[in-house]
Homo-oligomer: A and B are copies of this chain.
Amino acid sequence: MRVENESLCFEGRQLVLAHESETLGCTMTLGLFLPPQAKEQPVPVLLFLSGLTCTWENVSTKGFAQQACAQHGIAFLAPDTSPRGDDIADDEAYDLGQGAGFYLDATQAPWKQNFRMRSYIEQELLATLARDGALPLDTTRVGITGHSMGGHGALTCALRDPQRYRSLSAFAPIAAPSQCAWGQKAFNAYLGDDKDAWLPYDACELVKTTAWNKPILVDQGTADAFLEEQLNPHLLEQACCDQGIALTLRRRQGYDHSYNFMTTFMADHVAFHAAQLV
């Protein structure tokens, strides 16, 4: 991990890191906020997965997470949303290719060579950070959250692998990607048309078999322009209810899909994770 930039923020350190990812075959940049408590001891990590079109930078500069993370003593880790580079496959649309990795391992050409964000998040990212002795992170205490496509990423990562994550929340997640246009387009392109291959990447499907037994917090704005067509939180709510999973879905009156919504509830989410991580 190379330190590309470092800046004091709420008495902690906002880092921009970069490394050569073996999994993705490209240079990956990420934001990492270390709270002031990290000067004394390793701190737990809240992993934030971002939405379509975002890089590490959006939530690191606009997410309002640092103050709450400094208060609770949690590191805030913001990776990019896909592999990047001129020699990496891409598409003109905002919802496919670079910036739209959907946190899966692609099996179809031309994507399968580099688009392996599932493996990057699960196998490489935290392991690489943990190997870097200069970073005081306790990677045995990890929570996961995300926004929109990243909310889908957070839900599916945690539901597939309950041992890896101590806490789980999401902001306006794509809750049932197999049943919306964004998800169907991405899954067809990256995974092909065999819908069995989609199952590990659909939170509503994973809920049926997951061993996840901790509370899940989801915030969703009622004025979100993508609510009806793309997000479908009611399907997740029903699936969790059927399985006895403790989902708290808060419908936030009048809030939209933007960072103005997310920042409003960011401190709440950090506190939710802190209760399970610290």
Question: Which A residues have a C-beta under 8 Å from some C-beta of B?
Answer: 7-11, 14, 61-62, 64, 66-67, 221, 223, 254-256, 258-261, 263-264, 267
Contact = CB atoms under 8 A, between A and B. Distances in A.
A7 B256 contact: yes
B62 A261 contact: no
Contacts of A221: 8
Nearest to A252: B8
A172 to B, nearest CB: 13
B261 A9 contact: yes
Q: What 5 pairs across the A-B complex have the smallest Cβ distances?
A: A9-B260, A7-B260, A8-B254, A8-B255, A14-B260
Contacts of A259: 61
Contacts of A256: 7-8
Contact of A261 (B7, B254, B258): B7
Question: How many copies of this chain?
Answer: 2
Nearest to A10: B264
A8 B257 CA distance: 10
Given A7-B256, A14-B260, 20 more contacts: A7-B258, A7-B260, A7-B261, A8-B221, A8-B254, A8-B255, A8-B256, A8-B260, A8-B261, A9-B260, A9-B261, A9-B263, A10-B264, A61-B259, A62-B62, A64-B64, A64-B67, A66-B260, A67-B263, A67-B267
B223 A8 contact: yes
A264 B62 contact: no
A38 to B, nearest CB: 15
Nearest to A14: B260
A130 B132 CA distance: 56
Contacts of A8: 221, 223, 254-256, 260-261, 264
A225 to B, nearest CB: 11
Contacts of A64: 64, 67
